[in-house]
A and B are shown apart, each in its own frame.
Chain A
């Protein structure tokens, strides 16, 4: 048979390569979803059902008592208050740390790209160098510093440390975003009489909403998932959720409550998970949304 005369749209064909690709993608998705599935079903089972050892089986009845226990009754050592306390500590640490670090980073990036004070290039290099050094190196000096400032073992102290460690990345993000914006925009605003802060708040910040979202997501997940800084600086009363989860899971008094552990873990992970889930489209829009020339 002769080849068909080509006209109109090119017909799509399912090649073996394509099929192989889809098989691989589906397998990969299953591989990563399986642990989540196991966690969800285990958390909904009773301990009797778990003891039967069929970890992939669906629960016979939906039992939410493990979730209730995890939230408000699970024991950490001798205290049985659940992950609730840690959740609110994490919120108290994460929210101000994200807001302050993103705002400061945005101002830094704006000043570095549009105003370029003397020595700003050196300062930026220093900041980047600071971002490359592993932060374990800073732990002891920082502990001494915060102790001298009477901020050790306090929420404010942890927030400060998170802001410091977040600044290099956030500054870099905003600097690179603002550097791509024509300098003339800033000049035009100066001719119009606007000063440093007015240009920042009325022109640059509204333009950089996508970047604010991206930076906030980075910072939020990083700070929420942090373990070490919270452990070192927060103090016993302000431990974030990650540390509490660890303590709950590692507390052994009698039987290991796998269902409660699973529920507590999901509760801890759900916040960053939800943020990724609902802000995905901002990630996609990302940095490309700033076109001035159109």
Chain B
């Protein structure tokens, strides 16, 4: 299948400072790709380069089978939505939507039809004669999305579109964007630092750090089988619990040892046969259970320090070997700080990372 957007050996550098080093990504048609990473990782720079708003140092950009490396943003067949909405403040919503079409010199009737279609899709009909200043944040971002949709292009680029909105609106618009993608079936590339947005929206997530893609995979793969320590620590809230330890072999089976805890790793899905040496064991809070011992899981006994109720569930923090660990329980479970507990965890769902941080 032909890829909708394809980046080949892209490099972006300012003088000696390299932002993106030799990056290649293929985005399939109708795919929703999320670029996720901490601020300063180069994800917005990458998106701007795809849009043609950022000068590149070397490499190629292909969109819909055309090499657009030297083309202007308007000729690339993209629509873009920005974090600060970037609506034209002195134009009405209608003028904002039609600006690009007027610049392109489309016939009046065609412009009218497209604006009407987009407005009804995004429920903007009532707002067409208003100025951006008279709109709420959520309405503004809907107009900004509309301005991208009205171009009727194959690829939409989103640069942290929900970051300026409050939590409730963010959730609403997130669902709207997902619906839009399902009904329109366009290719979308979406930049965010919010892992919830990434996990809920993406077909595939590209996790970036320092201009390098750490892992490019489905949300489930990234969440359950993070490829290195950075990805494991970045994704998940509360964060994954890490235990430093060592692998040794007893009677041919690998065993993890840390602070008197000894765990048989025969249930762990190793990628490749392992060697003895220092490792980090990562366990997601939801893979720790108070009744783990009954299932024959390895247990760590400790004292509860803090309980964070979150309505539907609660996070219990406890100390083990002078380190803080968290696990998740149902919201109606009552545990008091100071209580002594001995939860167990599922080694089959855990992650092991070698000394270099890569998954074992």
Which residues on the A side are within 8 Å of B85 (C-beta)?
Answer: 292-293
Q: Is the CB of B103 within 8 A of A188?
A: no
Q: Do most interface residues of chain B lie in helix, strand or loop, or is the interface mixed?
A: mixed
Q: Which residues of B contact A291 (CB under 8 A)?
A: 89, 133
Contact mask B122-161 → A, CB, 8 Å, 1/0? 0000000000110001001000100100010000000100
- Given the known interface contacts A192-B100, A193-B74, A193-B103, the answer about A187 and B90 at a Cβ–Cβ threshold of 8 Å is no
A192-B99, A194-B103, A291-B133 as given contacts; A187 in contact with B147, CB under 8 Å: no
* Residue in chain A with minimal CB distance to B83: A184
The answer to whether the Cβ of A35 comes within 8 Å of any Cβ in the partner chain is no
Q: Are A192 and B103 in contact (CB under 8 A)?
A: yes
A182 within 8 A of B: yes
CB of A293 within 8 A of CB of B164, answer yes
What count of chain A residues pass the 8 Å CB interface test?
21
Name the distance in Å between B163's Cβ and chain A's nearest Cβ. Answer: 12
A190 is an interface residue with CB less than 8 A from chain B = yes
Residues of B within 8 A of A (CB-CB), count: 31
Task: Annotate A185-216 by CB proximity to B: 1 below 8 A, 0 otherwise.
Answer: 10111111110001000110011000000000
A188 pairs with B89, CB closer than 8 A: no
Cβ contact within 8 Å between B86 and A190: no
Contact pick for B100, options A184, A185, A187, A193, CB 8 Å: A193
Q: Is the CB of A185 within 8 A of B88?
A: yes
Does A290 sit within 8 A of B, measured CB to CB?
yes
A134 contacts partner chain B, Cβ-Cβ < 8 Å = no
Verify B53–A292 contact, CB threshold 8 A: no
For the complex, what is the distance from the CA of A192 to the CA of B76, rounded to whole Å?
11
Query: In the complex the two chains form, is A203's CB within 8 Å of B88's CB?
Result: yes
How many cross-chain pairs have Cβ atoms below 8 Å apart between A and B? Answer: 78
Most buried by A among B84, B85, B89, B133: B89
Among B83, B90, B104, B164: residue with most chain A CB under 10 A? B90
A17 at the interface (CB under 8 A from B): no
Proximity bits, B77-100, A CB within 8 Å = 1, else 0: 011101111111110000000011
Q: How far is the CA of A152 from the CA of B51 in the complex (A)?
A: 51
> Does the CB pair A292–B99 fall under 8 Å?
no
Looking at B72, B74, B137, B159, which has the most chain A CB atoms within 10 Å of its CB?
A: B74
Contact of A192 among B74, B133, B140 (CB under 8 A): B74
- One digit per residue, 1 when the CB lies within 8 angstroms of any chain B CB and 0 when it does not, for chain A 54-73 equals 00000000000000000000
Q: Are B100 and A292 in contact (CB under 8 A)?
A: no
Interface residues of B in 47-65 (CB under 8 A from A): 48, 51, 53
User: Of all chain A residues, which has the CB nearest B78?
Assistant: A191
Check if A182 sits within 8 Å of B86, measured CB to CB: yes
Mask: chain B, 109-133; 1 = CB below 8 Å from A; 0 = not = 0000000000000000000000011
A191 touches B80 (CB 8 A): yes
Task: Give the nearest-CB partner of B81 in chain A.
Answer: A188
Q: Are A187 and B103 in contact (CB-based, < 8 A)?
A: no
Complex Cα distance, B89 from A158, in Å, reads: 37
Pick from B73, B82, B103: contact of A184, CB under 8 Å: B82
| B78 proximity list for chain A (CB < 8 A) | 191
B89 touches A292 (CB 8 A): yes
Contact yes or no, A190 B132, CB < 8 A: no
A198 is contacted by which of B72, B84, B103 (Cβ under 8 Å)?
A: B103
Task: Give min CB distance, A195 to chain B, whole Å.
Answer: 9
Measured CB to CB, the nearest residue on chain A to B134 is A294
Tell me which of A191, A198, A290, A293 contacts B53 (CB under 8 A): A191
Residue from B48, B73, B147, B159 whose CB has the most chain A CB atoms within 10 Å: B73
Q: Are B82 and A188 in contact (CB under 8 A)?
A: yes
Determine whether the beta carbon of A194 is less than 8 Å from that of B99.
Answer: yes
Closest residue of chain A to B153 (Cβ to Cβ) is: A191
**Residues 158-203 of A at the B interface (beta carbon under 8 Å):** 182, 184-185, 187-194, 198, 202-203
Which residue of B79, B103, B144 has the most chain A CB atoms within 10 A of its CB atom? B103
The 5 tightest CB contacts between A and B, nearest first, are A192-B100, A193-B74, A206-B90, A188-B86, A184-B86
> What are 15 contact pairs spanning A and B, CB under 8 A?
A184-B86, A184-B159, A187-B86, A188-B87, A188-B147, A189-B88, A189-B99, A191-B80, A192-B100, A193-B74, A202-B88, A203-B88, A207-B90, A292-B86, A293-B164
A interface vs B, CB < 8 Å?
Answer: 182, 184-185, 187-194, 198, 202-203, 206-207, 290-294
